[in-house]
């Protein structure tokens, strides 16, 4: 994995957002431009705010999820000429910052993300 951290942002909800450039060369003068954003969210009871989480449910969450979960967002553009690579990458970052950061910076985001991941893993476990 080519994790070249482009920018790190401390969000209002005390989470750390890392924006990485995972672009790679695919031809003599062409690239696939890849912007990846990620947040490592520690599973903590105080992230659930108004939502009541019992000690038993929280212990189950820790058992299923571990101590943290990873939020990831990825966007890519294919067949970008080398001369346009940086400009395209910065446009992807700018769009992400404008459209997604207002949501992922909200105080309720980490708790909702943990609950979503928890529910998905329970459903997956119950399928099999």
CA-closest candidate to residue 33, choices 82, 69, 85: 85
Helix (H) or strand (E) holding 126: helix 109-127
Helix (H) or strand (E) holding 38: strand 30-42
pLDDT for residue 51 is more than 80: no
What band does 126 get if pLDDT is binned at 50, 70 and 90? confident
Do β-strands 30-42 and 24-25 pair in parallel, antiparallel, or remain unpaired? antiparallel
Residues 6+ apart with CB under 8 A from 78: 26, 32
> What global pTM score does this model have?
0.90
pLDDT for residue 1 is more than 70: no
The residue extents of the domains of the chain are 4-127
Distance CA 24, CA 98 (A): 25
What band does 52 get if pLDDT is binned at 50, 70 and 90? confident
Distance CA 90, CA 96 (A): 10
pLDDT digits (tens, 9 = 90+) for 71-84: 999 999 999 999 99
Query: What local confidence, expressed as pLDDT, does residue 2 receive?
Result: 55
Query: What local confidence, expressed as pLDDT, does residue 47 receive?
Result: 93
């Amino acid at each position: 994995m080519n994790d070249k951290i482009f920018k790190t942002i401390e969000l209002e909800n005390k989470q750390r957002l890392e924006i990485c450039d995972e672009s790679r060369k695919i031809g003599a003068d062409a690239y696939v431009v890849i912007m990846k954003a990620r947040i490592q969210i520690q599973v903590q009871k105080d992230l659930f705010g108004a939502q009541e989480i019992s000690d038993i449910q929280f212990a189950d969450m820790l058992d299923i999820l571990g101590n943290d979960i990873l939020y990831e967002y990825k966007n890519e553009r294919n067949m970008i000429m080398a001369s346009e690579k940086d400009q395209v990458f910065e446009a992807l970052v700018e769009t992400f910052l404008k459209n997604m950061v207002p949501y992922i910076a909200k105080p309720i985001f980490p708790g909702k993300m943990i609950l979503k991941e928890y529910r998905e893993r329970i459903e997956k476990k119950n399928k099999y």
